[in-house]
A and B are shown apart, each in its own frame.
Chain A
Amino acid sequence: MIDLLRSWLDERYQLNSFLEWARHKTVPVHRWTVFYYTGGVCLFLFLVQIATGILLLMYYRVGAESSYESVRFITSQVEYGWLMRSVHSWSANLLILFVLVHMLSIYFMRAYRSPRELSWVSGCFLLGIMMAFGFSGYLLPWNELAYFATKVGTDIVGQLPIVGGWLLKLVRGGEEVTGATLSRFFGLHVAILPAAASGLIGLHLLFVQVQGMSHGEDAKKHMPFFPNFVLRDLTLWLVVLNVICVLAVFFPWELGLKADALKSAPAGIKPEWYFLSQYQLLKVLPAKILFIPGELWGIGMFSAVGALALLLPFWEPRLPKSGRERLLTILGAGGLAAAAALTLWGHLS
């Protein structure tokens, strides 16, 4: 029966050649092999997000008068609704965390180097998409924290010279954060971003399959991708799933109070941890540096760091060979330490 199906598929889609290829795909084994799993975990978490996201959509109703109520309905009335929402929230945070770990491991392994420049670039875009997912999804429950976090977050856009006002209106769908903003963020979160992310992930995976894992040449040992590596991947995915379930049960995501534009912002309002370093930087910059608003400097800095990171595979080979590795390591460690310090500072202040 299975053989029949296989030959039917093979006639039409050359299944056997694909299976043949998969059988020969290997993963290099060395000190840093463990970091190859981070990409798989990201993929798994993305799948969890899609699955729980679709489930949440069954009951979620976007709108200033229904978003909060429907989320409350999901968490308090629908069976296992609490689980779906908490898993969606926790998995989102872990996803960003693992994307960051994945990227850092690629950076320190220098795996972005030729010929894998485009894997790196697509990965950078994916990080951006995941953060946009986080930012837009945060508003959807329409609670107090989300409302003010979005207000503050979108305010930054308004600081940009010339296009700021226009861009702010575009993002908010008006002058203020309202139901119109909610509709926009919802569309972004459930249609545009998933489509973009799926396409880019497909591309990203295609690149890896075509080029194989990095450091394949230097490794002495290899393990077959299927089934050895896949089974290990699966094992790790199960562990991650279990961790998410534990987090969801012991630290259920809070809903808080419904957003009220007329209330003043609650004290100590902060963005999600992955925006905290940027937020803290904007907060501590002086109001004016050399006649230019501090916020613009901040936005300039993020943009510069982002552009440098995105184009890393293109400028890095032009650095002088002597001392390049040291410089890259110092740069990476320094950047990481600075971001961690700002995040911690933001968290404590």
Chain B
Amino acid sequence: MNRSLALALVLAGCLLPGSVRAESKNQCVVCHAALDARQQAIVRAFQQDIHLQKGLGCHSCHGGNPAQADMGEAMDPEAGFVGAPKPSEIPAFCGKCHSQVESMKRYNPGLPVDQERKYWTSRHGTRLKAGDEQVATCASCHTAHAILPPNDPRSTVYAKNVHATCGKCHSDPKRMKPYGLPTDQDAKYKGSVHGRALLERGDTAAPACNDCHGNHGATPPGVADISLTCGQCHPANMELFSKSPMAPKWQQKHYHACATCHNHHDVAHPDSGLFDPEQGVCRKCHRPQDAGARTAGELRGMLDGMQSDFQAAEAGLKLAEEKGMDVAGGWDVLQEAKQAFFQARTEVHTFSTAAVKGKADPGVAAAQKAAALGLKAVQEFRWRRIWLGLATLIITFMVVALYLKIRDLES
């Protein structure tokens, strides 16, 4: 009861002639801060909004006159007040400024002005045009009143927050049901090599949803484009694959290049099991005994060999380190092996055992050298003890001889 009384008083205040109120105040804030919780939240959120930071106010988007205390006059449609836009109006609403070179130049000359145009080409945009008001518009991702630049960690479109922003709708089965879309992309992404690099390791260079699907023109990549999409960040893999004998054959079969083996949302850290002739992805086309399957088996053997060499060397160096030995030299050599193995793993996209072997061999040699250094350090550790034992023996012998000598002297 108290609240509605207060509300009534405030509303009455707003209706008073402007001369009674202080001129300098933003009248939109004065009144909306005293309205219901939703309106208060808008006022609060807007305090950190980038538009406010750049000197814009409520009226810059919504029109009206913030200097007018009289509600009727302040929010007079005749004087340009537009109020809250309907979803179908939002792209144009933001585009009023963001699609205009002249207005963007004044505030942020570096920002492109093609977002609205791109948006209308996206799945979201085409559906909105067709009258579907359930789809995402600008405000769905950027929020309406707490808009922050994408490099601000608090922003809904900051790299680490993008998956949750998209997931707000795309992980919601109720919202996705009418479109027949799956809702497991975010869950898959979070477990993928990309999601873990970005979300767990904090490598903001790792891709979020938008890095593959586009920001404003969000679309699932087409069959032909998927390797281009992945190739943005994996250029060597893409190049090797597109030159490989597989590329034309896969195109005939309409296989999605990269995704055929690596999947899409749940791209796993590739494991040699992909080449398993029995369980791996090659069996999609190759029978367990044919030449292709044999090659796959050989590749798998090489990858496993590299990995076990690397792990053996790593374990050996760790063991030496646990024993307090300095094996910095060994780690340096192992780093060489790691770099060679990176290259060998990339080289599997040629599907040529000779090419992979050429890259892997120096790495195998380096890994074995590192393992030998680790082993040498462990042996050295044992030697130190043997040396100490010998030294102690000799010293004890001398001490006993000295003791006898002293006793002999003093007897």
Contacts and interface: CB of A to CB of B under 8 A. Distances in A.
Whether A and B touch (Cβ < 8 Å) is answered with yes
Interface of A: 72, 75-77, 82-83, 227-228, 231-232, 234-235, 238-239, 241-242, 245-246, 249, 252, 254-255
Nearest to B405: A231
B403 interface: yes
Contacts of A227: 409
B391 A245 contact: yes
A217 to B, nearest CB: 23
A82 B399 CA distance: 26
Given A82-B384, A231-B406, 10 more contacts: A83-B384, A227-B409, A228-B406, A228-B409, A238-B395, A238-B402, A242-B396, A245-B391, A246-B388, A255-B326
A249 B406 contact: no
Contact of A241 (B327, B385, B395, B410): B395
A72 B328 contact: yes
26 contacts: A76-B328, A82-B326, A82-B384, A83-B384, A228-B406, A228-B409, A228-B410, A231-B409, A232-B406, A235-B399, A235-B402, A235-B403, A235-B406, A238-B395, A238-B398, A238-B399, A238-B402, A239-B399, A242-B391, A242-B392, A245-B392, A246-B388, A246-B392, A249-B384, A249-B385, A255-B326
Contacts of B405: 231
Interface in B319-370: 324, 326-329
Interface in B368-411: 384-385, 387-388, 391-392, 395-396, 398-399, 402-403, 405-406, 409-410
B387 to A, nearest CB: 8
A76 B325 CA distance: 8
Interface of B: 324, 326-329, 384-385, 387-388, 391-392, 395-396, 398-399, 402-403, 405-406, 409-410
Contacts of B410: 228
Determine chain B's interface SS by DSSP, over half rule: helix
B329 to A, nearest CB: 6
A238 to B, nearest CB: 5
Contacts of A246: 388, 392
B326 to A, nearest CB: 4
Determine chain A's interface SS by DSSP, over half rule: helix
Contacts of B403: 235
Most buried by B among A76, A83, A232, A252: A76
Given A77-B329, A235-B402, A235-B403, A252 B392 contact: no
Nearest to B384: A249
Rank and list the top 3 A-B pairs by shortest CB-CB distance, nearest first: A76-B326, A249-B388, A235-B402
B398 A245 contact: no
Contacts of A238: 395, 398-399, 402
Contacts of B388: 245-246, 249
Contacts of B409: 227-228, 231
Nearest to B397: A238
Nearest to A223: B410
Nearest to B326: A76
A238 B396 CA distance: 8
B304 to A, nearest CB: 32
Nearest to A75: B326
A82 B325 CA distance: 9
A238 B402 CA distance: 10
A243 B387 CA distance: 14
A72 B391 CA distance: 25
A232 B391 CA distance: 20
A242 B395 contact: yes
Contacts of B327: 76
Contacts of B391: 242, 245
A76 B395 contact: no
B394 to A, nearest CB: 9
Contacts of A235: 399, 402-403, 406
A235 to B, nearest CB: 5
A228 B403 CA distance: 10
A143 to B, nearest CB: 12
